[in-house]
Amino acid sequence: MKVIQINSVCGIGSTGRIATDIHNILIEQGHESYISYGRDNPKNCDTAIKIGTKYDNYTHVALTRIYDKHGFGSKKATMEFIKKVEEFNPDVIHLHNIHGYYINIELLFDYLKKANKPIIWTLHDCWAFTGHCTHFDYTGCKKWKTGCSDCPEKNSYPASAFIDNSKVNYFKKKDIFNGVKNLTIITPSKWLANLVQESYLRDYPVKVINNGIDLNVFQSTKNNFREKNNLEGKFIILGVASIWSRKKGFEYFLELSSRIKANEIIVLVGVTEKQKKLLPKNVLGINKTNNIKELAKIYSAADVFINPTLEDNFPTVNLEALACGTPVITFETGGSVESIDTNSGFIVEKGDIKGLINSIEKVKEQGKLIYSTHCKNRARELYDKSDKFNEYLQEYIQLTINGSGI
């Protein structure tokens, strides 16, 4: 079986690592696999195919920033890429993030409709069924159900500095994305699956495959993180993000810092140098790390993990914390709640600082060990990446069987 995946990045970031994890399973089982990507340098894939050039990316960014026409640039790059796909003649085409300034959605879907190949499309956010944004929870916008206009997220990724083209984008995307004969949509969360079924993509079959993590790395690990950072005897409240923003809940950690006790400390991983300067003395800021073994040590050292996200699909940080035996407290946001049960953490109403503090106190009173075994078991049973990504392989096989009429 020959499979080609298409994503904005390859081997980096959450979606890039998902693509390479699927690629590695395909290769291990004797299949032929390629990953096509649009930006940055590829990692962990010897058969990666670059779509376009940096110049193509820059012109696509300009088209987005000025005219709000994200997804409608990169014409030449997309035509050249489609020629390569035709030569490769894959059995399955697997789309991930097709936003990201690198591919023309109109040309891509015109090819997909003509090629009549089995298609899987994993949605990692909501961009596929909006006129502009990747998420709309923060603003509470419902326009995506009937037709976008006057977008409240115009200045958010993929940001437009001038024109609001969300109304035109919405109806063009609706027309472009519908009409593919053999397309299955996969979402990492039930929450996103439910949104898809309310959107203009509702006629496609939708299945849920949760994100998975590497349990050989993310596990309870002995380490000297406390000693190294003079945190012996402290109750560690941990937060992790690739980018800390208002939507990830950065301000809530600043608020928590003014309310926690003297023997408690907040550790924030992923802060910039500029954000470090804003942190009070009882918050230890650590820059973003790509060393996942070091990250596992920090999760293991923490007493509780806090995820005050205001918009999210199915955050892997929750899974990583659980796998390291650390209970999770999250706002009731999107699919963030789906990885937590009553024995592995707490779900708090969005924006409820008092609820966060009360939940932290419950973990502190009972002790981390009360939760740890269940947290680790939950991660092992539900979120092992080998199991999750093998589910994709089964989807590929089923689609090719159905497509061949067997």
pLDDT value of residue 403: 63
CA atoms lying within 13 Å on the CB side of residue 265: 18
pLDDT of residue 405: 37
* pLDDT value of position 289: 83
Tell me the domain boundaries of the chain: 2-212+385-404, 225-382
Predicted pLDDT at 10: 97
Do 2-212+385-404 and 225-382 share a fold? Answer: yes
pTM of the predicted structure, to 2 decimals: 0.94
Between CA 226 and CA 24 the distance in angstroms is 35
**Confidence at residue 406, expressed as pLDDT on a 0 to 100 scale:** 37
**225-382 has which fold?**
Rossmann fold (3.40.50)
pLDDT by 10s per residue, the chain, length 406: 999 999 999 998 889 999 999 999 999 999 999 999 999 999 999 999 999 999 999 999 999 999 999 999 999 999 999 999 999 999 999 999 999 999 999 999 999 999 999 999 999 999 999 999 999 999 999 999 999 999 999 999 999 999 999 999 999 999 999 999 999 999 999 999 999 999 999 999 999 999 999 999 999 999 999 999 999 999 999 999 988 998 999 999 999 999 999 999 999 999 999 999 989 999 999 998 878 899 999 999 999 999 999 999 999 999 999 999 999 999 999 999 999 999 999 999 999 999 999 999 999 999 999 999 999 999 999 999 999 999 999 999 998 887 643 3
Give me the architecture of the 2-212+385-404 domain, per CATH: 3-Layer(aba) Sandwich (3.40)
Residue 14 confidence (pLDDT): 87
